Structure 1
């Protein structure tokens, strides 16, 4: 065997090994370890709630969660439901918030809350995790569920990280959704992964970024190029609140800044929270977080006359 042949064999072996590693890492990224649902609403003084299940828009997937009404927990009956969407590798609890604490705060302000587990999370059906692509079908299923069981409800979406991006993509286009709160979303999954994939994989940018981003759509039929929150934001004629920590090293706050530049509704807002990390704005200062969210929702769900006058106001600057 001559030197050229040896070199070719070594090169082919190296490429095959790199491709095998890339596929293995891709499989792990799309099958994150499922976290159990270990807390209950009662631990946050939410005594009245319903354990619910409903189909995703994708056949064969059952989504599970809790519907927590304001009425029954000591507050007036509400006709507004906020649907929470959790981040990658988490579940309905979003434990670093925790989501139940935020839900309790919002219920006390007169909002109903639906928390659910995306596919392959918590107690929902096993399936491929696609970082916002097919998860849109799960969120659509949640909206279908609320509208089918409580047709009088007005719907707002509250998402965190991957769930924020998913909320933007679904809520931006679905006319049943009236307002969106996006905490730490990414602008575009393809662009985000091109820049940040080594942080997820622990592998060198070359050659693994190219291998993973090229092979995964072919093997998994899930292309990150199709996860484009920015396109939905451009088309969303509804109020959107972006919340992002300025010290977010996972999804830099520039993602929300870019998205905010695309909004079309004058009631949209951007709140940049100084010194906080990824999805850490609520635990950093729960009172300030609730104040910003409630003020935004009250403007977003104002009377028709007030909404018309508010729409002529200048789009506000980020709140420091």
Structure 2
């Protein structure tokens, strides 16, 4: 009996390790093929299809970071706007999406006169990588993308950072870094407060499992695989250092990234800011719930901080 009882902790530890490894692969492993019907692979009758087709037909360039390194290269689409050479939008996609999944957002900005750069994050789209980093390492690539934009378009430009879901978290995570002065505003849509907080919420909401003991082990695995613990991947911590005007958007009925995280993010920054909780919108559906108002609110916000922005036309 004593021997049996002494074996219980070891068995529990093994079980925790197996469960944590499964959870890590489930949450962090890249998705190699976009599901049929998604924004990256829409059906012809889908609401996503017109903007997806617009992007396919739009003249664009393939940009790369680390292009010759097959294990570390990162891809982006550069969509130049012939109507205006002073405004640029850097657009960040969501979890297990890719650049093409942001076609509607790209068109929104393009139609407003912005040149658009649309990266594929690490382990997404045409970029290399096996495991998703939830924006924490992607933000470092986006800082490099900013430099490439400046090299291509010159110093007299005005840049907006925009992201949805994981992309929203990514641009918030950028906000605490040393951004070039050409970055005039940030717009984040339904981004999470931190990687650890989001995964803890997901664990409880979808699997009815507590944070302990699995999450610390998952964090340790990520430290080995990607080089950082989950607690370090914090939008809130970065927002404490943010000085760039930022607009927070979140769906009222978001149960994937809970709306409470939007309030947490909003409170974290002392920079000029605004917030819109979109009635009846679920996760990453704020634009599709109220596309006209969404576009108008973004434009009104940008008019305050982007000198090249033109006022919205009255209805």
TM-score range, shorter chain: 0.7 to 0.9
Tell me which residue corresponds to 1:271. Answer: 276
- Partners of 2:203 and 2:209 within 8 A in 1: no
Change (3 A) 1:246 1:47: same
Tell me which residue corresponds to 1:301. Answer: 306
Change (3 A) 1:142 1:214: closer
Tell me which residue corresponds to 1:50. Answer: 60
Tell me which residue corresponds to 2:5. Answer: 7
Q: CA deviation at 1:25?
A: 1.9
Instruction: Provide the secondary structure at the position in 2 that maps to 1:237.
Output: coil
Tell me which residue corresponds to 1:223. Answer: 229
Tell me which residue corresponds to 2:74. Answer: 63
- Work out the CA distance in 2 between the residues paired with 1:32 and 1:42: 22
> 4+ residue stretches of structure 1 with deviation over 6 A?
39-42
Change (3 A) 1:206 1:78: closer
Could you give the per-residue CA deviations for residues 195-250 of structure 1, whole angstroms, max 9, x where no partner exists? Answer: 332446x3632655345345324432331111111122222222100000111101
Q: CA deviation at 1:61?
A: 2.0
- Further displaced range: 11-20 or 209-218: 209-218
Unaligned runs of 5+ in 1: 304-320
- Partners of 2:32 and 2:125 within 8 A in 1: yes
Change (3 A) 1:20 1:78: same
- Work out the CA distance in 2 between the residues paired with 1:235 and 1:211: 26
Tell me which residue corresponds to 2:24. Answer: 26
- Partners of 2:28 and 2:132 within 8 A in 1: yes
Unaligned runs of 5+ in 2: 35-39, 43-48, 309-315
- Work out the CA distance in 2 between the residues paired with 1:119 and 1:218: 17
- Work out the CA distance in 2 between the residues paired with 1:25 and 1:252: 20
Residues 1:287 and 2:297 are matched in the alignment: no
- Work out the CA distance in 2 between the residues paired with 1:114 and 1:237: 23
Could you give the per-residue CA deviations for residues 72-125 of structure 1, whole angstroms, max 9, x where no partner exists? Answer: xxxx2231110111111111123xxxx212222221111111112101101111
- Further displaced range: 14-23 or 209-218: 209-218
- Work out the CA distance in 2 between the residues paired with 1:230 and 1:56: 30
- Work out the CA distance in 1 between the residues paired with 2:246 and 2:300: 13
Q: CA deviation at 1:49?
A: 2.5
- Further displaced range: 152-161 or 244-253: 152-161
Tell me which residue corresponds to 1:233. Answer: 239
* TM-score, normalised with respect to structure 2: 0.83
Number of residue pairs the alignment of both structures matches: 290
Q: CA deviation at 1:24?
A: 2.5
Equivalent positions of 1:132-211 (< 5 A) are 132-151=135-154, 152-176=156-180, 177-199=183-205, 202=207, 204-205=209-210, 207-211=212-216
